[in-house]
Structure 1
Amino acid sequence: MPATRLADIFVGDYYQTLQPVNSPEKTAVYQSGIIAKNDALDAVASNGQGTSTISYWQDLDANEEANITTDDPDQKGKVGKATQGTMRARTLYLNKPYGTTDLTTELANSEPMQHIRNRYGKYWERQWQRYLLGAARGVIASNIANDGGDMVIDAGAAMTATAMQDAAFTAGDAADQFSAIGVHSVVMKQMVQKDLIEYIKDSQGNVILTTYLGKPIFMDDGLTYGTGKYLSMFFGSGAFGYGEGTPTNPVEVQRDALGGNGGGAEIIVERKTYILQPAGFSWIGEDDPNKTPTIAQFSDPANWKREFDRKLVPFAAVISG
């Protein structure tokens, strides 16, 4: 059983506290405001079905012309109808245990279990970011495979201003729906060197917002696409919806008196029931609640299908070297 052991901590003669060493991994995509809490997804996450169908009303068809009014009482006007569409969302059932022994705690002169508790929130945020980026890769690859790549521009060897502009306008006159742009640090460097980035500063000259095409642009090295390629993404507000269910036992501590050869051991586990749904797409993969998809499976284009018209989908992408 993997657990925090003596080899995982620093044991010295002169210290009073151990400062945690935090991972340098950023979660800029997840924190950028492109995900939105959705009460309907909360309800779906709580139904225990694994995969659920969500119904929505289609907009009224403006291609149907209005009737021409006449004074003939026997002439009946054509009646239109409202129709519904459906999409499928996948619930993720996940858990993560961590363990430590009493001897570890005693020799560390600190509380590793308290440190674990304090860092759980950041651990889950990084997991959600991984799933989010997986879904982003999955829907883009699905778009290339099934929709003619009408949301994607291939920039070739390096990012260009033309490629970024072309990507935004894959949405036509709905291009103004995009509220944020995410790029890899390599791409950001290319854009900075080409003087494409604008900076908004406060009265003291401090940069408070980095923008491109008038949109906030953020940097995250998780935005990769295969080997040696980078995924630059335009996101609309609410590009991802999320919902949370309530596991039967969200957090649990197990005490093992005989662990550590009788010295005592403790395990803490947190459980999450979560939905992260890219707008306009359906999950068409595994629906068995016992087989929650991995991050790699979230990246598989075979598991996603676009349901909305291109203009209604708040994603666009540039793939570059």
Structure 2
Amino acid sequence: MSTRIADVIVPEVFNPYVIERTAELSALVRCGIVVRDNELDSLAKAGGRLINMPYWKDLNGDDEVLDDNGALTPGKITAGQDVAALLMRGKAWSVNDLAKALSGDDPMKAIGDLVAEYWAKQRQKTLLAILKGVFSSSTMSGNIHDISSLEGDLAKINGSSFIDAKTKLGDASDKLTAVAMHSTVFAELEKQNLIQYIPNSQGVVDFPSYLGRKVIVDDGCPFEGGVYTTYLFGAGAIGEGNGEAPVPTETDRDSLAGEDILINRQHFLLHPRGIKFTDSSVAKSSPSNTELANEANWSRVYENKNIRIVAFKHKI
């Protein structure tokens, strides 16, 4: 008798394995852009489609000169509120898709690796949809460096224009530690001999680097009308929290068709810190990637330089 999905999948073991393995496979996590946060895990499990995250605003106002005859004037400490959307997603696969994995020595691990790889790719796709919506919002104009309308070489990415882009954060620009770009942009920088391959302490090149910043290559980075968008990130710019669907993993069988089915559901947060999800245009209980890419659903709440993301629009 052939191996069946229900014979090898143990949900209590499978669910945490897929979450941890997804993080291991995610380039965004490995380069430090996305950071899993225990507090966000708790918030993602607490229920509700919107997650409220209050924060204290920076203190402002000039200091005062101390005087024996005068009292200090108290300033106010004020709070703001960041808001994230709980992303609820799922996918089902039939045994035909998983037949090779079922034939392995450790079929549950093999299937878990396939599922984790799938979710790693989907989360990266979801983040790029979020960034599209975020940087379409008028509230984010201070974090955009757009040279695409200039003439000739002035419109192109190079060392000088990249430095201008990172300087959008002013004295916080050194916090930008990674960059995501289209493969065509990456190839152009390779031709300019600006991409470096520096091994880590184990002699392995985890990521290529550009001007000292780790590079992620993804053709999901926007390319419209000859204009490319390259994203610069600081460590932890994106917060991640993993919740738990009521039934994260289950199996089913279509006896007439002779097919086993694996169903996997995930509840998670993937949120650019400091940019509130407004929930202005969402049709169902959780936003789709198309809705995440809608500018109406985003509004900046942090000061510009405290948001560790810059969008750089350019040509090559």
User: How high is the TM-score relative to the length of structure 1?
Assistant: 0.77
Task: Supply the distance in 1 between the matched residues of 2:208 and 2:95 (Cα, whole angstroms).
Answer: 43
Larger Rg: 1
| Structure 2 unaligned residues grouped into runs of 5+ | 1-24, 150-154
1:33 corresponding residue in structure 2: 32
Q: SS of 1:200's equivalent? A: coil
- 1:16-95 matches, cutoff 5 A: 28-29=27-28, 31-61=30-60, 64-72=61-69, 75-95=70-90
2:230 is paired with a residue of what secondary structure?
A: strand
Matches within 5 A, 1:127-166: 127-142=122-137, 145-155=138-148, 158-166=156-164
Aligned residue in 2 for 1:21: none
Deviates more, 1:32-41 or 1:115-124: 115-124
Q: In 2, distance between residues paired with 1:203 and 1:35?
A: 22
- Unpaired runs of 5+ residues, structure 1, are 1-25
- What code does the residue aligned with 1:146 have? T
1:228 deviates by 4.4
Separation in 2, partners of 1:289, 1:42: 25
8 Å CA contact 1:49–1:289 kept in 2: the answer is: no
CA contact (8 A) 1:30 1:132 kept: no
Distance 1:190 1:118, change over 3 A: closer
Which of 282, 285, 291 is 2:276 aligned to?
Answer: 282
- Structure 1: distance between partners of 2:64 and 2:169: 31
Task: State, as a whole percentage, how many aligned pairs show the same letter.
Answer: 29
Say whether 1:302 aligns with 2:301: no
2:93 corresponds to which residue?
98
Structure 2 matches for 1:175-190, cutoff 5 A?
175-190=173-188
Deviations 1:158-209 (A, max 9, x none): 4233321111001111111101112222111212222333443589998665
Counterpart residue number, 1:194: 192
- Secondary structure of the residue aligned to 1:241 is strand
CA contact (8 A) 1:151 1:171 kept: no
* Contact 2:134/2:140 (8 A) holds in 1: no
| Higher helix proportion (structure 1 or 2) | 2
- Secondary structure of the corresponding residue to residue 122 of structure 1: helix
Q: Deviation at 1:242?
A: 0.7
* 1:32 CA drift (Å): 2.3
For residues 197 and 131 of structure 1, do their structure 2 counterparts lie closer, same or farther at Cα, with a shift above 3 Å needed? same
Q: Distance in 1 between matches of 2:168 and 2:183?
A: 24
Q: 1:39 to 1:194 in 2, by over 3 A?
A: same
Distance in 2 between residues matched to 1:31 and 1:117, nearest whole Å: 19
Aligned to 1:20: none
Change in CA separation of 1:150 and 1:202 when aligned onto 2, cut-off 3 Å: closer
d(CA) in 2 for partners of 1:66 and 1:168? Answer: 31
Residue deviations 1:23-55 (CA, integer Å, cap 9, x gap): xxx964454220111222222211221012210
Q: 1:40 to 1:194 in 2, by over 3 A?
A: same
- Distance in 1 separating the partners of 2:202 and 2:263: 47
Contact 2:55/2:81 (8 A) holds in 1: yes
Counterpart of 2:210, as a letter, is Y
AA aligned to 1:320 is H
Q: Kindly provide the CA deviation profile for residues 116-159 of structure 1, in whole angstroms up to 9, marking residues without a partner as x.
A: 544111111111111111112221222xx334454332345642
Give the SS at the match of 1:69.
coil
In 2, are the aligned partners of 1:29 and 1:220 still within 8 Å (CA)?
no
Bigger drift between 163-172 and 203-212 goes to 203-212
Aligned positions, number: 282
Contact 2:208 2:215 in 1 (8 A): yes
Report the Cα offset of residue 252 of structure 1: 0.7
| TM-score, scaled relative to structure 2 | 0.78
- For the Cα contact (< 8 Å) 2:282–2:291, is it kept in 1? no
SS in 1 for 2:220: coil
CA contact (8 A) 2:95 2:260 kept: yes
Could you say if the C-alpha distance between residues 49 and 76 of structure 1 is closer, same or farther in structure 2, counting changes exceeding 3 Å? Answer: same
- Cα pair distance change 1:232/1:288, threshold 3 Å: closer
CA distance in 2, matches of 1:119, 1:314: 32
Q: Return the alpha-carbon distance in structure 2 between the equivalents of residues 204 and 281 of structure 1.
A: 37
After superposition, the CA RMSD in angstroms is: 3.0
Q: Bigger shift: 161-170 or 192-201? A: 192-201
Q: Which amino acid aligns with 2:62?
A: E
